[in-house]
């Protein structure tokens, strides 16, 4: 069959011209199709890239939001811990003030009873710093919290400043360090 075709092309120049035109049209149409296909592929690639960038931005935004939530939770926990830590200080200062300024002995005794609930026992040691030099502290004679509270009641005076409190795992005070007021 190929010999017949070759003979046909030799004999008929019109057939050859038509064949060339058909081939050129096919090639021309093919180039346009290729161009359209490339444009479609480029558009798809741009769309995929934009979607990928949007997904990356969304992921980064989620990470930032998660970090912000984490920081806020840490800050809230820190504030709660500080409040919990300062709570015994403020309560003890309130009791010291109530006992020193009590209008009657029974009111002072009532405040002493309430204050003793903050401690592990009424025999909790109270250390009073009378001076401090070069990081070394000089203490007055140690006493117990019960004796110190009764001293405040009897003297009707302002308590010494709270320097440090030692707490046990249940939040009860195990040791008090006071700084002598001048």
Give residue-wise pLDDT tens across range 83-130.
666 678 888 888 888 888 888 999 999 999 999 999 999 999 999 888
Average pLDDT along the chain? 81
State the average pLDDT over residues 147-175: 87
Reported as a pLDDT band with limits 50, 70 and 90, residue 25 is low
Give the pLDDT of residue 48.
82
Q: Compute CA 151 distance to the chain's CA centroid, rounded to the nearest angstrom.
A: 46
Is residue 26's pLDDT more than 80?
A: no
pTM comes to: 0.55
Reported as a pLDDT band with limits 50, 70 and 90, residue 131 is confident
For residues 147 and 150, what is the distance between their CA atoms, to the nearest angstrom? 5
Is residue 144's pLDDT more than 90?
A: yes
Is residue 30's pLDDT more than 60?
A: no
Q: Which distant-in-sequence residues (6+ apart) come within 8 Å of 8 by Cβ?
A: 15
Give the pLDDT of residue 6.
65
Which carries the bigger pLDDT value, residue 79 or residue 149? 149
- Of 170, 128, 166, 168, nearest to 147 by C-alpha is 128
For residues 84 and 78, what is the distance between their CA atoms, to the nearest angstrom? 10
Looking at beta carbons, which pairs linking 87-96 to residues 24 or more positions away fall under 8 Å?
Answer: 88/118, 88/165, 88/167, 88/171, 88/173, 89/162, 89/165, 91/118, 92/118, 92/162, 92/165, 92/173, 92/176, 93/159, 93/162, 95/149, 96/152, 96/158, 96/159
Q: Compute CA 176 distance to the chain's CA centroid, rounded to the nearest angstrom.
A: 33
């Amino acid at each position: 069959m190929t010999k017949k075709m070759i003979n046909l092309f030799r004999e008929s120049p019109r057939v050859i011209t038509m064949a060339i035109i058909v081939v050129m049209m096919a090639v021309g149409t093919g180039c346009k199709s290729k161009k359209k296909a490339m444009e479609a592929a480029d558009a798809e690639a741009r769309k995929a890239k934009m979607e990928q960038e949007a997904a990356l931005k969304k992921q980064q935004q989620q990470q930032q939001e998660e970090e912000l939530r984490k920081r806020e939770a840490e800050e809230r926990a820190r504030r709660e811990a500080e409040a919990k830590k300062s709570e015994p200080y403020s309560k003890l200062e309130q009791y010291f003030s109530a006992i020193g300024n009590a209008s009657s002995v029974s009111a002072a005794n009532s405040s002493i009873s309430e204050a003793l609930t903050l401690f592990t026992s009424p025999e909790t040691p109270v250390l009073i710093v009378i001076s401090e030099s070069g990081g070394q502290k000089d203490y007055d004679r140690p006493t117990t919290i019960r004796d110190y509270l009764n001293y405040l009641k009897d003297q009707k005076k302002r308590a010494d400043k709270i320097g440090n409190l030692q707490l046990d795992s249940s939040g009860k005070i195990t040791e008090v360090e006071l700084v002598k007021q001048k």
